[in-house]
Structure 1
Amino acid sequence: MPITIPRQLPAHGILEKENVFIMDTVRATTQDIRPLNIVIVNLMPEKERTETQLLRLLGNSPLQVLVTFLRTATHDSKTVSKSHLNQFYQTFHAIKHKRFDGMIITGAPVELMSFEEVNYWEELKLIMEWSKTHVTSVMHICWAAQAALYHHYGIGKFTLPTKCTGVFPHSVSHSTVELIRGFDDEFLAPHSRYTGTSLAAIQADDRLMVLAATNNDDPFIVISKDEKHIMITGHFEYDHDTLAKEYQRDKKKGLDPVIPKNYFANDDTKKTPLNRWRSHAHLLFSNWLNYYVYQETPYEWK
C-alpha cells in the first residue's frame, strides 16, 4: 500500500521518480481502508530534504501510511519558506486533540546547547509527554534520541572531543527483538553529532535495552522495554551524499571539519560516497511500522 502525502509537497515528485508507491490525499479518500496515522516532528533545518528521506523509508511498506508534519510554534525556521510551513505543517496546538499510531521526532543542530537552553525545549517536553497517551510508538532520531533519554529516563549527554561523523560498523545484541529482525550481526550506519550518551548508563536502567552499538561501545539503537520509545542515535535516513554536504557546508564556514570516517574512498572528498546502509534503514522502518505501530495500535482510538 502507498504512503499518502499532498501532491504539492516537493517530496511527491522526487519519490514518484524513484518509483516509491505514493498516493495523493484526494485519491486516498476514495479507498475504504484505515491508514496508519504517523506524525513527524521535523526539527531539522533543511526540512524538505528530511521530508523526502523519511517518506522514502515510510513508503517501503505494505501498509497505507498517512503523514502529518509538525513544526514548533516557539521557534521560527530560517532555512525553509513560511509558505512551505504554512501549507504542509501544523502546530501542536492544532493536533493535540488527535491520536496517532506512530510519531517520529527528528534530530536538530542544537546538540552543544543544554536541553534547557533550546528555545523550544518546553514545547518539545509537552509533545513528548502528550505522546505517552496519544501515540502508540515513538521513534526518536539523533538529538531527539538524546532528548528522549534525558526527558523520560534522566540520562544526559556529553560533548565529544571531536565531531562523530562517518559511517560506522555496529554489532547487534538481542537479535530476536522484532525491531531488528532480519539485521545482519554487523551492519553499517551513518552518524553526525557532537555529543554522545553513556552506554553504561543506558544498560544500568532496567527500563531500557540496547539493541545495537558501535564497536567503540557507542549506543545506536535503544528501545524501552515497554516498547513505547525507540531511540536511534545516528541517521539511518541519510542519503548517500548527506554527510558530504555537511562536510562541505562546515568547510565553507571555516570550521575546519574532520573528514567523515569510512565514508569517502581513501578519504578523497572529491569522490562520490556510496550508500552502504540503505537495506538496514528500510528494514528498521518496516519492522517499526509492522511490529510496533500496526500490530499494536487499536483500530479505533477511544
Structure 2
Amino acid sequence: MPIKIPDDLPARRNLEAEGMVVMSEADAVRQDIRPLRIGLLNLMPQKQKTETQIARLIGATPLQIELTLVTTGTYVPGNVSRHHLSTFYRPWEEVRHQKFDGFIVTGAPVETLPFEAVKYWDELRSIYDWTQTNVTSTLNICWGAQAALKHFHGVEKHELPEKMFGVYPHRAVDPTAGLLHGFCDKVMIPVSRHTETRREEVEAADGISILLDSEEAGLCMAEDVARGQIFMLNHLEYDAGTLDEEYKRDVREGKAIALPKYYYPDDDPEREPPNVWRAHGHLLFANWINKTYQESPFNLSLIGR
C-alpha cells in the first residue's frame, strides 16, 4: 500500500521518482480502511533529507501509512525555512491530544551536549511521557535513542576519544526477536557517533533486551517492551552517500576526521560507496510496522489504555 503524505511535501517528488506509490489526500479518504498513523518528530537539521529517508522505509510496507511531521515548540531550528516548518510540520503541543500507532524520534546535532543543556530537553521529556498514553510503539534513532534511555532508565552517554564512523558489521544478539525477523547473521550498519551508550549500563537497567551489537562499534539496538520503546543507536535509514557527505563536509571545515571504516571501496573517497545495508533498513522498518499493526487497537482512542 502507498504512504499518505502532504501533496506538496518536497519528499513526495523524491519518492515518486524512485517508483514509490504515494497516495494523495483525496485518494486516501476514499479507501474504507484505517491507515496506520505514524508521527515523526524530526530533530535533524536537514529535515527534507530525513523526511525522505524515513518515508521511503515506512512507505514500502503492505499497509497504508499516514505520516504526520512533528516539531518541538520550545525550540525553532534556524537552518530550515519557516515556510517549510509552518506548511508541513505541527508543533507537538498541537498533536499531543491525538493518538498514534507509531512514533519516531530522530537524532539531533546535540550529541556532545549534556542532555539538560539541550534547549528542548524538558519538552522532549514530556513527549516521552506522552508516548506512554498516546502511542503504541516508539522508535528512537541515534541521539533520540540515547535521550530515551536517559529519560526512562537514567542511562548516560559517554564521549568517545574519536568519532565512531563507518559501516560496521553487527550481529543479532537475539535472532528470534520480532524486530529482527529475516536478518542475516552479519548486518552492515552505518554508524556516525561522537558518544557511546555502554552495553553493561543498558543491561543493568530493568526491562531492556539487547537486540543488535558490534564488536567494534558496541551497542546498536535494544528494546523496552513494557514501555513500547525501541532504541536504535545507528542508521539503517541512511542513504548510500550520507557518510560521504559528512566526511567531505568535515574535511572542508578543517575538522580532524578519519575515513569512515568499511565504507569506500579500497578506502578511496573518490570512489562511490555501495549501499550494503538497504535491505536490512527496509526489513527493520517492515518488522516494526508489522509489530505495531498487530499490537495497536483498531479504535485509536483505546491506545494507551
Q: Secondary structure at the match of 2:30?
A: coil
Q: Secondary structure at the match of 1:168?
A: strand
Q: Is the 8 A contact 2:164 2:217 kept in 1?
A: no
Q: Could you say if the C-alpha distance between residues 7 and 33 of structure 1 is closer, same or farther in structure 2, counting changes exceeding 3 Å?
A: same
| Aligned-pair CA distance for 1:171 | 0.9
> What one-letter code is carried by the residue in structure 1 that aligns with 2:239?
D
Q: Could you say if the C-alpha distance between residues 80 and 38 of structure 1 is closer, same or farther in structure 2, counting changes exceeding 3 Å?
A: same
| Aligned-pair CA distance for 1:7 | 1.6
Match of 2:63 in 1: 63
Q: Is the 8 A contact 2:132 2:227 kept in 1?
A: no
1:183-194 alignment to 2 at 5 Å? 183-194=183-194
> What one-letter code is carried by the residue in structure 2 that aligns with 1:72?
T
Q: Secondary structure at the match of 1:164?
A: strand
Q: Deviations over 1:36-65 (max 9, x none)?
A: 000000000000000000000001101000
Match of 1:147 in 2: 147
> What one-letter code is carried by the residue in structure 1 that aligns with 2:164?
C
CA distance in 1, matches of 2:88, 2:198: 37
CA distance in 2, matches of 1:216, 1:246: 20
Match of 2:295 in 1: 296
Q: Secondary structure at the match of 2:144?
A: helix
Match of 2:43 in 1: 43
CA distance in 2, matches of 1:20, 1:221: 28
Q: Deviations over 1:177-222 (max 9, x none)?
A: 1000110111100011100011011122241011110123611110
Q: Secondary structure at the match of 2:45?
A: coil
Match of 1:75 in 2: 75
> What one-letter code is carried by the residue in structure 2 that aligns with 1:116?
E
Q: Kindly report the root-mean-square deviation, in angstroms, between the aligned alpha carbons of the 2 structures.
A: 1.0
CA distance in 2, matches of 1:60, 1:128: 27
> What one-letter code is carried by the residue in structure 2 that aligns with 1:296?
E
CA distance in 1, matches of 2:104, 2:123: 16
Q: Percent identity?
A: 44
CA distance in 2, matches of 1:126, 1:56: 28
CA distance in 2, matches of 1:29, 1:214: 44
| Aligned-pair CA distance for 1:26 | 2.0
> What one-letter code is carried by the residue in structure 1 that aligns with 2:295?
E
> What one-letter code is carried by the residue in structure 1 that aligns with 2:259?
I
Q: What TM-score results when the alignment is normalised by the length of structure 1?
A: 0.98
CA distance in 2, matches of 1:146, 1:211: 15
Bigger mean CA deviation after superposition, 47-56 or 220-229: 220-229
> What one-letter code is carried by the residue in structure 2 that aligns with 1:35?
P
CA distance in 2, matches of 1:217, 1:52: 26
> What one-letter code is carried by the residue in structure 1 that aligns with 2:112?
L
Q: Is the 8 A contact 1:39 1:67 kept in 2?
A: yes
Q: Secondary structure at the match of 2:166?
A: strand
> What one-letter code is carried by the residue in structure 2 that aligns with 1:285?
F
Match of 2:255 in 1: 255
Match of 1:284 in 2: 284
Bigger mean CA deviation after superposition, 154-163 or 224-233: 224-233
Q: Is the 8 A contact 2:108 2:143 kept in 1?
A: yes
Q: Secondary structure at the match of 2:128?
A: helix
1:84 equivalent to 2:84? Answer yes
| Aligned-pair CA distance for 1:66 | 0.1
CA distance in 1, matches of 2:295, 2:172: 24
Q: Is the 8 A contact 1:61 1:286 kept in 2?
A: yes
* Number of residues of Structure 1 aligned to a counterpart in Structure 2: 301
CA distance in 1, matches of 2:198, 2:230: 16
> What one-letter code is carried by the residue in structure 2 that aligns with 1:42?
N
CA distance in 1, matches of 2:226, 2:135: 13
| Aligned-pair CA distance for 1:27 | 1.5
Q: Is the 8 A contact 1:158 1:195 kept in 2?
A: yes
Q: Is the 8 A contact 1:199 1:217 kept in 2?
A: no
> What one-letter code is carried by the residue in structure 2 that aligns with 1:281?
G
CA distance in 1, matches of 2:248, 2:216: 26
Structure 1: stretches of 5+ with no match in the other structure: none
1:1-302 alignment to 2 at 5 Å? 1-216=1-216, 218-226=218-226, 228-291=228-291, 293-300=292-299, 301-302=301-302
